[in-house]
Chain A
């Protein structure tokens, strides 16, 4: 039996509890939702920022949360920055700068270490400390990117560099002493037997002196075939050779693949052989070179050229093997086909059957058939140019023409049978269909759609686009001008790389990301599937020499550090580990020639140590396991506080030492 008082207490308690439960039930969903982040939250943000559904789609395609990795890596040239950029797709995040022709202290290139590579690019003893990088080429096996090597050329000085993709560092620079500029480089043959470097502006051979009035007789063009040795990972200049060409300003090249393997194609744009001289009353180059209605597509039989070289048909020009133009013509190594008016861009389709030329000053892309070219050559061409090079008739080799717009430059390909050509003057990208078997015969050769880009697109890159099997999905427009796309940062504006979603057919293309590029002007890029790359996380063993890509017997082990003297030559042997360098006192005398080796004995990822010596212009970046050696003259006495320049640990500030240079 419950008493009156007790039952009313119970009633009260029950009522309070019921109210509490009801209150909790009402509040809870709100709290729960807030903790989760309500559905309405991101929509509110989108509204406030003025984002459309299309914008959100672009964001969903490109936003890559922390910890998620990109699907592709785009290697873009740095233009007059002289370096290469590695950019992740679809996030468009800059992953890495690779110094090539230009010294760069963050990665320790050219400030104590790296000189032996930079020096390979000096010409006739002259220090050249920048380059104009244009077209990177990934090494290929059977026409597919294999992720092992990257090649890049320097237009300004006619040099080619080799980058090792195990550690993303430049290992070699070569220069053809017979020529002093390039543009049609670098492009690789389907198994990277050769790295193609086409020259650009006509020069006397070896850049010797010849009056401009003698242009036609004394100036030449050139295309160099650099032999690549995959075992050593180096270009072998002894096995390399060049062809002398007419001074027609060869432009871009591409290697044939599959059916056209063994042939190389280059466009040219000054067959008029205009020599400018606006100050003398002559038409300037821009007018003179554009005057003619056609220029010449160069069709080069690389297999036959290789045979001629190996049979001894080359002559020595400044120590390099050059096959002279007469020999080229005699041995049927070179054929011309007309191409409309100062074209740019020569691109071979994935199956190798067609060669696409961008008209530049002509609004068409002109498509040549390799089979028809072979037939025309076999039939025996009757026309020649002024030098005697056989010229094939345009109608006999042309497969189709598609009018795409103003200023067609470069063409890339996808996996749906579409081709994409950049339109510089229209500031757009044209998608057109390749109307042949294996592509889009149902659409024929026709323009499908154009998408405006911002602004003035030069090259484009497509995912795996230069291979025998492009991936489609993404195309990047490498726009030269950004104008109003970004906040103003002064009169020097960045370039704008725009990621375009091309996964949907027809006219459905969408720009999904704008990436400003500063410090570089990417001219061209190649995009490789990320899982094809096998970059190291640390160097494989302690004491690793990145040049030889093996353990260096001269590396320093812990316990063997020290400073030793032999007359005026001092050897410093040092190790670096968190958070000290050993030794911490380096005592030398003024006038000493110092050879200093440092080995980073770390094994953990990202445990890089920097190293700088004040006054002596030394800065290194030593990755885990790496060993480096640098030399200098101790010309100034005093005390110099060397220290680790790459933040490495809680005691990074304490990671330093004193170099004490005693005066005489």
Chain B
């Protein structure tokens, strides 16, 4: 259909009408995709992006940490605040408090996402040649998130208090953000969660939307 639109001579009214009709379909798809991506991004803020489970003999069932865009929690069981428990264990190895981690990023996360979503909506309807650039923040967001996460994991793990009680037993380390690792008697298993997948799905929708629109716009300019 694409190629037909490009190769067909555009002086015939019927052809043009048909071309207009078919173009209308492609015309709206990027809008739908961008709005969809905006929705996915909004939905993702309520879900964890990444999590780590710490397993040790003394904790049957393990300790679970879930990272959202603006907060860190444990699992659903309200009895034990697992983040506090992990923090308590961390003080033996001289690691800083999890509550201070990425404080700035977490404080701006929701406002930033609001801005990104706004930009997506604008880009969805404002079809200048250059407005697709407005989608770049939302597009790159999940990967920026992971990069920031990796930075903080590394920062926390490498900057242990050398005077901490277990400093002779536990050397500075970088906990992997994917897969298994070891800290003391704990085995760690880290993975991304639904929230991140939603954001990535949003990014894919954005990519598709941008490509469609750019090709469409190029074909328009040629016509």
Q: Name A residues whose Cβ lies closer than 8 Å to a Cβ of B.
A: 537-538, 540, 577-578, 603-605, 650-651
The smallest beta-carbon distance between B46 and chain A, in angstroms, is 25
Contact of B81 among A537, A578, A603 (CB under 8 A): A603
A538, A578, A603, most chain B CB atoms within 10 A: A603
A578, A604, A651, most chain B CB atoms within 10 A: A604
B79 interface residue (CB < 8 Å to A):
yes
Known: A537-B79, A650-B92, A651-B92. A604 touches B85 (CB 8 A): yes
How many chain B residues sit at the interface, stated as a range, is under 10
B8 interface residue (CB < 8 Å to A):
no
Known: A537-B79, A538-B79. A650 touches B166 (CB 8 A): yes
Return chain B residues, CB-CB under 8 Å to A538: 79-80
Contact of B84 among A537, A603, A650 (CB under 8 A): A603
Return chain B residues, CB-CB under 8 Å to A605: 80
Return chain A residues, CB-CB under 8 Å to B79: 537-538, 540, 603
Interface string of B78-89 (1 = CB under 8 A from A): 011100110010
B147 interface residue (CB < 8 Å to A):
no
Q: Determine the distance from Cα of A605 to Cα of B82 in the docked complex, in whole angstroms.
A: 12
Contact of B165 among A537, A540, A604, A651 (CB under 8 A): A651
Identify which of residues 77-123 in chain B touch chain A, using a CB-to-CB cut-off of 8 Å: 79-81, 84-85, 88, 92
B89 — nearest CB in chain A belongs to which residue?
A: A578
Identify which of residues 27-71 in chain B touch chain A, using a CB-to-CB cut-off of 8 Å: none
Known: A650-B165, A650-B166, A651-B165. A603 touches B92 (CB 8 A): no
Return chain A residues, CB-CB under 8 Å to B81: 603
Known: A650-B165, A651-B165. A604 touches B92 (CB 8 A): no
The smallest beta-carbon distance between A124 and chain B, in angstroms, is 45
Return chain A residues, CB-CB under 8 Å to B166: 650
Which secondary structure characterizes the binding site on chain A?
loop
Q: Determine the distance from Cα of A604 to Cα of B165 in the docked complex, in whole angstroms.
A: 21
Q: A577–B88 contact, CB under 8 A?
A: yes
A540 — nearest CB in chain B belongs to which residue?
A: B79
Q: B165–A578 contact, CB under 8 A?
A: no
Q: Determine the distance from Cα of A232 to Cα of B84 in the docked complex, in whole angstroms.
A: 34
A67 — nearest CB in chain B belongs to which residue?
A: B60
Q: Determine the distance from Cα of A650 to Cα of B92 in the docked complex, in whole angstroms.
A: 9
User: Would you give 19 A-B contacts (Cβ < 8 Å), ordered by A?
Assistant: A537-B79, A538-B79, A538-B80, A540-B79, A577-B88, A578-B88, A603-B79, A603-B80, A603-B81, A603-B84, A603-B85, A604-B80, A604-B85, A605-B80, A650-B92, A650-B165, A650-B166, A651-B92, A651-B165
Interface string of B117-161 (1 = CB under 8 A from A): 000000000000000000000000000000000000000000000
Return chain B residues, CB-CB under 8 Å to A540: 79
A580 — nearest CB in chain B belongs to which residue?
A: B91
Return chain B residues, CB-CB under 8 Å to A578: 88
B81 — nearest CB in chain A belongs to which residue?
A: A603
Q: Determine the distance from Cα of A651 to Cα of B166 in the docked complex, in whole angstroms.
A: 10
Return chain B residues, CB-CB under 8 Å to A603: 79-81, 84-85
Q: Determine the distance from Cα of A578 to Cα of B85 in the docked complex, in whole angstroms.
A: 10
The smallest beta-carbon distance between A66 and chain B, in angstroms, is 11
Q: Determine the distance from Cα of A578 to Cα of B89 in the docked complex, in whole angstroms.
A: 9
Q: Determine the distance from Cα of A650 to Cα of B170 in the docked complex, in whole angstroms.
A: 14
Q: Determine the distance from Cα of A578 to Cα of B80 in the docked complex, in whole angstroms.
A: 15
B81, B85, B88, B165, most chain A CB atoms within 10 A: B88
Q: Determine the distance from Cα of A573 to Cα of B41 in the docked complex, in whole angstroms.
A: 48
The smallest beta-carbon distance between A15 and chain B, in angstroms, is 45
Q: Determine the distance from Cα of A191 to Cα of B80 in the docked complex, in whole angstroms.
A: 35
B58 — nearest CB in chain A belongs to which residue?
A: A606
The smallest beta-carbon distance between A408 and chain B, in angstroms, is 47
Q: Determine the distance from Cα of A651 to Cα of B92 in the docked complex, in whole angstroms.
A: 9
A625 — nearest CB in chain B belongs to which residue?
A: B79
The smallest beta-carbon distance between A562 and chain B, in angstroms, is 22
Return chain B residues, CB-CB under 8 Å to A604: 80, 85
The smallest beta-carbon distance between B147 and chain A, in angstroms, is 33
Q: Determine the distance from Cα of A578 to Cα of B92 in the docked complex, in whole angstroms.
A: 10
Q: Determine the distance from Cα of A650 to Cα of B169 in the docked complex, in whole angstroms.
A: 12
B169 — nearest CB in chain A belongs to which residue?
A: A650
B166 — nearest CB in chain A belongs to which residue?
A: A650
Which 8 interchain pairs have the tightest Cβ spacing? A603-B80, A604-B85, A603-B81, A604-B80, A651-B165, A578-B88, A538-B79, A650-B92
Return chain A residues, CB-CB under 8 Å to B85: 603-604
The smallest beta-carbon distance between A275 and chain B, in angstroms, is 60
Identify which of residues 162-182 in chain B touch chain A, using a CB-to-CB cut-off of 8 Å: 165-166
Return chain A residues, CB-CB under 8 Å to B88: 577-578
Q: Determine the distance from Cα of A605 to Cα of B77 in the docked complex, in whole angstroms.
A: 13
The smallest beta-carbon distance between B8 and chain A, in angstroms, is 68
Return chain B residues, CB-CB under 8 Å to A537: 79
Return chain A residues, CB-CB under 8 Å to B80: 538, 603-605
B60 — nearest CB in chain A belongs to which residue?
A: A67
Q: Determine the distance from Cα of A577 to Cα of B165 in the docked complex, in whole angstroms.
A: 16
Q: Determine the distance from Cα of A603 to Cα of B89 in the docked complex, in whole angstroms.
A: 13
Q: Determine the distance from Cα of A483 to Cα of B84 in the docked complex, in whole angstroms.
A: 54
Q: Determine the distance from Cα of A577 to Cα of B81 in the docked complex, in whole angstroms.
A: 14
Return chain A residues, CB-CB under 8 Å to B92: 650-651
A654 — nearest CB in chain B belongs to which residue?
A: B165
Q: Determine the distance from Cα of A605 to Cα of B80 in the docked complex, in whole angstroms.
A: 8
A603-B81, A603-B84 are known; give 13 further A-B pairs, CB within 8 A. A538-B79, A538-B80, A540-B79, A577-B88, A578-B88, A603-B80, A603-B85, A604-B80, A604-B85, A605-B80, A650-B92, A650-B165, A651-B165
